[in-house]
Amino acid sequence: MGLVLNFIVQTIVWFGFMGAVIFGAAGTTNYPGGWLYLGMMIALSIVFGTIMARVDPGLLRERLKPPVQKDQPLADKLILVPILLLIFGGMGFMAADAARWRWSAMPFAVQLAGCGLVVVAILFVYWVMRTNSFTAPVVKIQKDRGQAVITTGPYAMVRHPMYFGTLFYIAGTSLVLGSWWGLATVPILAVFFGIRIGIEERTLRMGLDGYDDYACRVCWRLIPFIW
């Protein structure tokens, strides 16, 4: 399957599934926050996916691969399961909180602020990917693509900036969907990211020349000045 066709198919499947989770949990399609979030995410995915297809097709091809791959450590396969369940389960909980149970009462202005936070987080993640063409969705050494240690841009501040940006994306998602309680997903996800970082760093230290030196220079793993 060609890269563009693969991207189109996966976009339809991905957001179809995301919509089913959100509106299924909400129990209704009369959920403005859900439509706002889904529409925004589809638009951003198309824009940045199209850009990546032109400027770094190798990375886009890598990111379209499945979350379980041959060269991936078993530990990473195992930790990805709860992470994906937490992300999608968290979205379902946020939608149920806001539209089905109505535990949260959130002003629309806060939801719009959440849109801004999601956009900023995705722009940050895009910066990460433009800086590091080896940001695969799984832990592995990409010898076929000549993977090297990246030390510039966001990697000069924190060793795993993709996870850092994702935490803000999840926080923004909770706000757009209208759920205060959904923000509790962020610290839980941070714990699982911390476990995955340990798995990733063992792989990088063993298989990527220069990573030990880089880790000595940049001490923060996930959140600058904290850990």
Q: What is the DSSP string of 176-202?
A: HTT-SGGGGHHHHHHHHHHHHHHHHHH
Write down the CATH number for the domain with range 3-217.
Answer: 1.20.120.1630
> In this structure, are residues 98 and 104 in contact, taking their beta carbons and an 8 Å threshold?
yes
CA distances from 125 to 119, 179, 185 (A): 10, 23, 19
> In this structure, are residues 133 and 68 in contact, taking their beta carbons and an 8 Å threshold?
no
Burial group, residue 166, by CB count within 10 angstroms (0-12, 13-18, 19+): buried
Predicted local confidence at residue 1, as pLDDT: 62
The predicted model scores a pTM of: 0.94
Q: pLDDT tens digits for the chain (227 residues)?
A: 688 898 889 999 999 999 999 999 999 999 999 999 999 999 999 999 999 999 999 999 989 888 888 888 999 999 999 999 999 999 999 999 999 999 999 999 999 999 999 999 999 999 999 999 999 888 888 888 889 999 999 999 999 999 999 999 999 999 999 999 999 999 999 999 999 999 999 999 998 999 999 999 999 999 998 99
Question: What is the residue extent of each domain of the chain?
Answer: 3-217
> Sign of dihedral through CA atoms 145, 150, 153, 158?
positive
Rg over alpha carbons for the chain, rounded to the nearest Å, is 18
Burial group, residue 91, by CB count within 10 angstroms (0-12, 13-18, 19+): buried
Name residue, tokens 């795993």. Answer: 160
